[in-house]
């Protein structure tokens, strides 16, 4: 297995379980260091081709995923793979959609849904999760997990 992310590298979020996930904006240069082994790209249009395995969730800027069930499956896959792989989550700017996805991944990792946005803002970026509907999406994601 390849090494995981460096915990102090730019954009790396440490989840309560110790899993590391890197968030970033595709509109910025690729950070120095190792490449992802798996990436989840959250964009309104198909992402550029990359040399690592990736999954695309259609998610327009400042909005919510076009297919919420598909998004939930993709978020779960990213969380599961982060246990042993370098997982990257990215949108264009690296804040709104990426922050929303990271908050949902934090919920999967055990952070209560009503605390996940604050967790990601503290440990990833203060400007993560940009819109009220993105915050509601995270809260509902947490409630949906509670009902299972």
2 domain residue, yes or no:
no
3-state secondary structure the chain: CCCCCCCCCCCEEECCCCCEEEEEECCCCCCCCCCCCEEEEEECCCCCCCCCEEEEEECCCCCCCCCHHHHHHHHHHHHHHCCCCCEEEEECCCCHHHHHHHHHHHHHCCCCCCCHHHHHHHHCCCCCCCCHHHHHHHHHHHHHHHCC
7 domain residue, yes or no:
no
CA distance readout (Å), 24 to 14, 70, 114, 139: 14, 21, 23, 22
Counting the structural domains of the chain, the total is: 1
Residue 54 CA, distance from chain mean position? 13
pLDDT at residue 147, as a whole number: 63
Global pTM value: 0.95
Residue with tokens 């996940």: 116
pLDDT at residue 2, as a whole number: 52
CATH number, position 54: 3.90.190.10
Q: Which domain holds residue 117?
A: 12-146
6 domain residue, yes or no:
no
Residue 58, strand partner residues: 43
3 domain residue, yes or no:
no
93 pLDDT higher than 50: yes
4 domain residue, yes or no:
no
Residue with tokens 């997990």: 145
- The mean per-residue pLDDT over the stretch 118-128 comes to 97
pLDDT tens-digit readout, 57-78: 999 998 899 999 999 999 999 9
């Amino acid at each position: 297995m390849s090494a995981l992310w460096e915990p102090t590298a730019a954009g790396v979020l440490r989840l309560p379980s110790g899993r590391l996930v890197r968030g970033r904006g595709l509109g910025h240069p690729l950070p120095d260091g190792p490449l992802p082994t798996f990436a989840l790209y959250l964009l309104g249009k198909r992402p550029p081709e990359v040399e690592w395995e990736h999954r695309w969730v259609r998610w327009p800027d400042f909005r919510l995923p076009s297919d919420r069930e598909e998004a939930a499956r993709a978020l779960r896959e990213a969380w599961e793979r982060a246990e042993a792989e370098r997982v990257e989550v990215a949108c264009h700017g690296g804040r709104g959609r990426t922050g929303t996805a990271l908050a949902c991944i934090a919920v999967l990792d055990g952070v209560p849904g009503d605390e996940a946005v604050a967790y990601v803002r503290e440990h990833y970026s203060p400007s993560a999760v940009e819109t009220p509907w993105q915050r509601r999406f995270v809260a509902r994601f947490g409630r949906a997990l509670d009902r299972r």
